[in-house]
C-alpha cells in the first residue's frame, strides 16, 4: 500500500515539474531547429532553418517595419561582395510583399538572381505594420555566383540592411533601389539551424538565438550622390544664371569672369562625383541582357549622356569666353566669338537645368523635383525683376538726355550759332562778294546765303583770289567714299 502511494506521488511530482517547465518557457525565446537574429531596436528580425535532410534547400523568415522602403539579409559574407541577398519590399498595390533574391558583386546595388527558386509560405504579407516574408528555397540556395554557405560552419557570416524611411512599391523583383539607411553584420551558428522542415518564427518577442551581432550602424546615406546633386544644382541653376545677372545688370566683366571660373570648377567636381556614384547602382531585369540593362554602371542613361554634353559645353563656353575677352581687350571690338559664347551659355544652362530633373528621377527621388522647380521659378522671377528694373531706369535716362528744354543751358556744339541768337540768315556778315561786273565788294550782309558769293580775305597774303563758280557749287561729285576711321 505504501509503495503504491509512493509511485503515485512520484508520478504527480514529475507531472508538476513538467508542467512548470512548459509554463516557464518563453514563447519564441528558444525554438529548436532555427537561428534567430534581432537588431537592438527590433527593426530587423531574421529566422533561418536548415532541414535535417541533406539537400540544397533552407527555410527563412524576414520581418521589418513597413516605414522602411526595403529590408534585406545577406548570407555568405560579412561584406556585400559575394553575398546572397534576400530582399523584400512592398508590392505595387501595397497589399503584399515582393521578394527579390539577388547576389552582390561588390559595394554597389546587388544584381537580380533569377536562378533562386522558392515558394512563399503562410504568414507572408503585411502584418501588424510589418513586411513579413516566409519562404522555402528549393534550388540555387546554398551556392550562387561568387559565393556559398557552409551549413556546418559555426560562424557563418551574414549582413543586413534597411532602406530609407519612405514609401516604395514595386512588383518588379529587379526594381532599382535607393542607398540603405542602416546596415550591419552578424554571425550564424549553422549547427543550431538544423531542425524541422518548416518556416522559422519571428515576432516582437523574439531574441537572438544561435546568432552573434557583430556590427550595427545607423544614419548611413549616399554622400557622393547627395553632393553631386547639390553641386550641380548650384552650378547650373544658381551660379551660371547669376553670371548673366552680374554682367547685364551689374556691368562687371571682372566678377562675371570669376563666376564663370568657379562654375567651371564646380561643374568638373560635380561631374567627378557623378561618375563615382554611377558605379554604386545597377539594374538588371533579365540575366541574358545583363550587359545592356545596368542602371548606371554602363553610363548609357539619358541623364548621363546629357551630362557629358553639358560638361563639354561648359568647358567650351569658358574657353570661348577667355578668347573673346582677350580679343576685346586688344582691339576693343566684339567679333564672332561673342554670340557663340552667349548662345553656348544659354544652351548649357537650359540642358543643365533639365538634366537636374532627370537626375532626381534617375536617383529615385522624384519628389525633390518639386523643390528644384520652385528654386528655378524663384531665381527666374528675381533675375527678371532686376533686369526689368534696370531696363526701365536706362530708358528713363535716355529719354531725359534726348529732350532739350527751352531754357536749357546746354553748351553742346551748334553748327549754326546765329540761329540761336535770332539773327536772320541774310544778316550774317560776309567779308567780300563779287559783283556782276567782276569787281570785289565788301560784304554788307545784304544778300542771302543762296545768292552770296565768297572772296578770300586780304589777310591771305600771297594767295590768289578764288571765286566760287556755279558749276563747282552744283557738282554732285563728292569724291570717294570714306570710312569712319578716315575722320579720326
- State pLDDT tens for residues 230-288: 899 889 888 898 888 888 777 888 889 899 999 999 999 999 988 888 777 664 444 44
Looking at domain 36-217, its CATH architecture is Sandwich (2.60)
- Which uninterrupted H or E stretch holds 125? strand 125-127
pLDDT tens per residue, range 369-421:
677 777 777 777 777 777 777 777 777 777 766 554 445 444 555 555 555 55
Residue 409's Cβ-count burial label (10 Å; 0-12, 13-18, 19+) is exposed
How many DSSP H helices and E strands does the chain contain? 9, 18
The whole-number pLDDT of residue 95 equals 92
Cα 95 to Cα 92: distance, rounded to the nearest angstrom? 8
Question: What average pLDDT does the segment 162-185 reach?
Answer: 89
- 0.85 exceeded by pTM: no
Domain residues of the chain, as ranges?
36-217, 223-389, 429-467
CB 379 within 8 A of CB 241: yes
The whole-number pLDDT of residue 401 equals 62
Coil, helix or strand for 397?
helix
Cα 466 to its chain centre, rounded Å, is 82
- pLDDT of residue 45 exceeding 50, the answer is yes
Which fold, 223-389?
A: 1.20.120
Amino acid at each position: 500500500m505504501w509503495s503504491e502511494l509512493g509511485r503515485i506521488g512520484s508520478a504527480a511530482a514529475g507531472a508538476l515539474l513538467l508542467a512548470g517547465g512548459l509554463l516557464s518557457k518563453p514563447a519564441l525565446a528558444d525554438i529548436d531547429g532555427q537561428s534567430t537574429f534581432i537588431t537592438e531596436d527590433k527593426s530587423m528580425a531574421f529566422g533561418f532553418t536548415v532541414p535535417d535532410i541533406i539537400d540544397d534547400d533552407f527555410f527563412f523568415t524576414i520581418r521589418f517595419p513597413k516605414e522602411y522602403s526595403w529590408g534585406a539579409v545577406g548570407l555568405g559574407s560579412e561584406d556585400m561582395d559575394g553575398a546572397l541577398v534576400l530582399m523584400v519590399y512592398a508590392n505595387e498595390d501595397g497589399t503584399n510583399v515582393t521578394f527579390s533574391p539577388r547576389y552582390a558583386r561588390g559595394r554597389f546595388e546587388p544584381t537580380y538572381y533569377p536562378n533562386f527558386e522558392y515558394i512563399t509560405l503562410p504568414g507572408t504579407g503585411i502584418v501588424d505594420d510589418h513586411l513579413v516574408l516566409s519562404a522555402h528555397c528549393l534550388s540555387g540556395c546554398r551556392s550562387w555566383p561568387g559565393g556559398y554557405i557552409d551549413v556546418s560552419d559555426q560562424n557563418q557570416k551574414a549582413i543586413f540592411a534597411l532602406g530609407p524611411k519612405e514609401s516604395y512599391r514595386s512588383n518588379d523583383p529587379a526594381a532599382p533601389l535607393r542607398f540603405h539607411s542602416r546596415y550591419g553584420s552578424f554571425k550564424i551558428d549553422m549547427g543550431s539551424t538544423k531542425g524541422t522542415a518548416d518556416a522559422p518564427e519571428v515576432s516582437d518577442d523574439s531574441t537572438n538565438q544561435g546568432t552573434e551581432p557583430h556590427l550595427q550602424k545607423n544614419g548611413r546615406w549616399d554622400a557622393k550622390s547627395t553632393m553631386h546633386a547639390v553641386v550641380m544644382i548650384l552650378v547650373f541653376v544658381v551660379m551660371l544664371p547669376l553670371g548673366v545677372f552680374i554682367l547685364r545688370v551689374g556691368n562687371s566683366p571682372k566678377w562675371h569672369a570669376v563666376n564663370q571660373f568657379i562654375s567651371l570648377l564646380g561643374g568638373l567636381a560635380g561631374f567627378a562625383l557623378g561618375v563615382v556614384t554611377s558605379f554604386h547602382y545597377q539594374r538588371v531585369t533579365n540575366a541574358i541582357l545583363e550587359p545592356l540593362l545596368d542602371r548606371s554602371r554602363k553610363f548609357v542613361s539619358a541623364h548621363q549622356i546629357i551630362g557629358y554634353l553639358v560638361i563639354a559645353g561648359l568647358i567650351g563656353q569658358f574657353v570661348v569666353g577667355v578668347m573673346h575677352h582677350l580679343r576685346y581687350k586688344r582691339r576693343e571690338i566684339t567679333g564672332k566669338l561673342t554670340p557663340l559664347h552667349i548662345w553656348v551659355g544659354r544652351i548649357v544652362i537650359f540642358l543643365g537645368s533639365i538634366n537636374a530633373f532627370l537626375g532626381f528621377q534617375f536617383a529615385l527621388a522624384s519628389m525633390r523635383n518639386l523643390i528644384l522647380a520652385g528654386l528655378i521659378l524663384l531665381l527666374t522671377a528675381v533675375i527678371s525683376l532686376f533686369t526689368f528694373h534696370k531696363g526701365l531706369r536706362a530708358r528713363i535716362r535716355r529719354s531725359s538726355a534726348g529732350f532739350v528744354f527751352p531754357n536749357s543751358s546746354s553748351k553742346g556744339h551748334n553748327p549754326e550759332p546765329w540761329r540761336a541768337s535770332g539773327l536772320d540768315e541774310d544778316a550774317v556778315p560776309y567779308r567780300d562778294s563779287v559783283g556782276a561786273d567782276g569787281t570785289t565788294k565788301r560784304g554788307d550782309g545784304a544778300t542771302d546765303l543762296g545768292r552770296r558769293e565768297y572772296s578770300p580775305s586780304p589777310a591771305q597774303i600771297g594767295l590768289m583770289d578764288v571765286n566760287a563758280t556755279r558749276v563747282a557749287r552744283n557738282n554732285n561729285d563728292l569724291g570717294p567714299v570714306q570710312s569712319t576711321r578716315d575722320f579720326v
